[in-house]
C-alpha cells in the first residue's frame, strides 16, 4: 500500500512538472509547426506538378489532399511518441504518455494546415480562371474586331 502511494505520488509529481515545463510544450508546438510547414510545402509542390503534368484541377486537389493529410498525421504521431525531456537526474525520458494526459491540442495545427491548403488551392484556382478569362476575351476581341 505504501509503495503504491509512493509510486502514485512520484507519477503525479512528474506529471505536474511536465505540465509546468513550458519549454517542453514550446518544443512540442514548434515541432508540430515544422511538420505542418513541410507538409504544406510538399502539398504545394505536388499540386503544382500535378497541374503542370496535365491532371485535372479537382482531381489534383483530391489526390494531393489524400496524400498529404495522412503524411501530417504520421509526422504528428512521431512527434507525440518521440518527445523527450531531461529529468532531474540528467537522463532523457520519453514523455509520450504525459503528452496524452496533458491534452495538448494538435487539432489547431491540423486546421491551420487544412486552411493553408485551401488558401493555396483558391489562389491557384483564381490565377487559372484569370488566365482563361483573359485568353477567351482576347479570342472574342479578335473574332468581333478583326
CA gap 48, 92 in Å, rounded:
42
State the Cα–Cα distance between residues 104 and 98, nearest whole angstrom: 10
- Residues in the chain where the model's pLDDT stays below 50: 1-2, 84-94, 97
* Cβ neighbours for 137, distance < 8 A, ≥ 6 positions apart: none
Q: What is the pLDDT of residue 47?
A: 97
Rounded to 5 degrees, what are φ and ψ at 93?
-135, 135
Question: Residue 85: what pLDDT?
Answer: 47
pLDDT digits (tens, 9 = 90+) for 70-91: 999 888 777 665 554 444 444 4
Closest CA to 41 of 87, 72, 81, 74: 72
Q: Quick one: the chain helix, strand, coil %, rounded to 5?
A: 85, 5, 15
Amino acid at each position: 500500500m505504501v509503495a503504491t502511494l509512493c509510486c502514485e505520488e512520484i507519477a503525479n509529481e512528474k506529471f505536474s512538472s511536465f505540465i509546468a515545463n513550458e519549454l517542453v510544450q514550446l518544443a512540442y508546438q514548434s515541432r508540430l509547426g515544422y511538420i505542418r510547414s513541410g507538409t504544406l510545402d510538399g502539398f504545394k509542390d505536388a499540386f503544382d506538378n500535378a497541374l503542370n503534368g496535365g491532371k485535372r484541377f479537382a482531381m489534383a486537389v483530391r489526390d494531393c489532399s489524400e496524400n498529404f493529410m495522412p503524411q501530417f498525421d504520421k509526422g504528428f504521431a512521431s512527434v507525440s511518441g518521440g518527445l523527450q525531456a531531461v529529468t532531474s537526474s540528467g537522463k532523457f525520458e520519453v514523455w509520450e504518455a504525459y503528452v496524452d494526459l496533458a491534452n495538448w491540442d494538435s487539432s489547431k495545427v491540423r486546421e491551420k494546415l487544412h486552411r493553408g491548403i485551401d488558401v493555396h488551392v483558391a489562389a491557384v484556382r483564381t490565377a487559372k480562371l484569370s488566365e482563361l478569362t483573359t485568353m477567351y476575351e482576347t479570342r472574342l476581341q479578335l473574332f468581333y474586331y478583326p
